[in-house]
């Protein structure tokens, strides 16, 4: 099998209503992606996720620097291709961020090709671990721009739908307001529901230490991304001092950075995202590293769960997956949660094929 053509795309899918967290405001979710064609008629689709900003730089990287290196190559040599792109022409100017996210899209498309060629869903092609579905928690009711009334209505409905875990955003200018929202949510969902909070990097160490301690009374399952993601030592201080486990990974881009977090004792739940590390190839390496230290995985869904459902279903240390439904309607086999569990995909590939109608409707490049 040989790669014959590489086509990039950018989709902007509306988010209704628009949402905010402590550092982002989003009205659309961006898919910067690539369709890789082969001489056997199999087409692999891969993409990364954005807040609909910077997509042009990601696909420019694919078009100008990665695509020429792929033409004529065997997609089954995915790890060799990963190395050649990672340590190729773009290595000098970027070892994370834009170039890494571009590589993620390419790598995902290659794995999609291989699973399709094997006529297996990716989670089986990788070696299945969970045959009865994946426990899901829901983030889509806890946005920072929600009023308290809207927040409580949404998290209550999420629990009634069968989800056993909810996550809300914190990071208000006044942490007292965060405290009151967390208190209200815990009272609304009861003591048996897993409850996580996400700071989105908004606090410094002192704020996190003070309010992390105060919020312990609400039996939080984890405290997510409390600090700048480059501050490994700050996260270590929190991990040592707080009784709430620290979750990090959404903005950690490389296996080496995860290694340093793990060795420092600064991470207690690993949220490695396949669209931030350079695709499935590097995701699997991080998963192996976490497994060696018995650190549980629960990925951040920058691709909204389509690919991660396969990775979690094939990874022993991955125990749960985030659910955000913003873009699921555009896929031929959308990520689906029933009674609190992801229903495992059945079609060959990585569940990345997009319905043509929506591809054309949301395409901006």
CA distances from 119 to 4, 115, 127, 318 (A): 21, 6, 14, 24
Helix (H/G/I), strand (E/B), else coil: 272: coil
Give the closest residue to 246 by CA, choosing from 265, 230, 215, 222: 222
Give me the phi and psi of 223, to 5 degrees please. Answer: -115, 115
Placement of tokens 């929202």 in the chain: 181
Q: What is the largest CA-CA distance in the chain?
A: 60
- DSSP conformational letter for 54: S
Burial tier of 187 (Cβ tally within 10 Å: 0-12, 13-18, 19+): exposed
Tell me which DSSP letter residue 345 carries. Answer: P
DSSP letter for 343, please: P
- Evaluate whether 34 touches 9 at the Cβ level (below 8 Å): yes
290 C-beta neighbours (distance < 10 Å), count: 24
Number of Cβ within a 10 Å radius of residue 258: 24
126: number of CA atoms within 13 Å, CB side? 26
Catalytic residues, by residue number, are 169, 300
3-class SS at 301?
coil
């Amino acid at each position: 099998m040989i790669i014959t053509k590489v086509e990039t795309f950018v989709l902007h899918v509306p988010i209704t209503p628009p949402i905010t967290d402590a550092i982002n405001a989003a009205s659309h979710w961006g898919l910067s992606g690539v369709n890789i064609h082969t001489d056997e008629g199999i087409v692999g689709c891969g993409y990364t996720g954005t807040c609909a900003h910077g997509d042009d730089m990601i696909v420019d990287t694919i078009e100008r620097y990665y695509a020429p290196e792929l033409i004529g190559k065997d997609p089954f040599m995915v790890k060799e291709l990963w190395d050649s792109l990672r340590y190729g022409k773009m290595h000098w100017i970027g070892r994370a961020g834009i170039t890494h996210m571009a590589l993620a899209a390419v790598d995902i498309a290659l794995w999609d090709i291989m699973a399709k060629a094997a006529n297996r869903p990716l989670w089986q092609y990788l070696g299945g671990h969970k045959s009865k579905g994946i426990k899901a928690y829901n983030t889509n009711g806890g946005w920072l721009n929600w009023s308290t009334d809207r927040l409580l209505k949404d998290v209550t409905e999420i629990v009634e739908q069968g989800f056993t875990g909810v996550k809300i955003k914190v990071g208000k200018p006044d942490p007292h307001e965060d405290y009151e929202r967390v208190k209200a949510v815990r009272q609304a969902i009861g003591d048996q529901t897993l409850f996580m909070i996400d700071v989105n990097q908004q606090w410094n160490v002192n704020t996190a230490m003070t309010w992390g301690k105060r919020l312990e009374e609400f039996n939080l399952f984890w405290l997510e991304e409390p600090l700048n993601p480059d501050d490994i030592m700050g996260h270590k201080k929190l991990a040592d001092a707080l009784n709430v486990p620290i979750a990090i990974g959404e903005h950690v881009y490389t296996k080496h950075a995860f290694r340093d977090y793990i060795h420092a004792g600064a991470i207690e739940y690993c949220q490695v995202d396949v669209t931030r590390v350079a695709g499935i190839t590097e995701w699997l390496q991080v998963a192996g590293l976490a497994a060696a230290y018995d650190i549980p995985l629960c990925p951040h869904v920058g691709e909204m769960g389509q690919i991660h459902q396969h990775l979690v279903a094939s990874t022993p240390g991955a125990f749960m997956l985030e659910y955000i439904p913003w873009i699921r309607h555009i896929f031929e086999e959308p990520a689906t949660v029933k009674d609190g569990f992801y229903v495992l995909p059945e079609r060959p590939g990585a569940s990345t094929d997009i319905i043509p109608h929506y591809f054309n409707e949301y395409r901006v490049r």
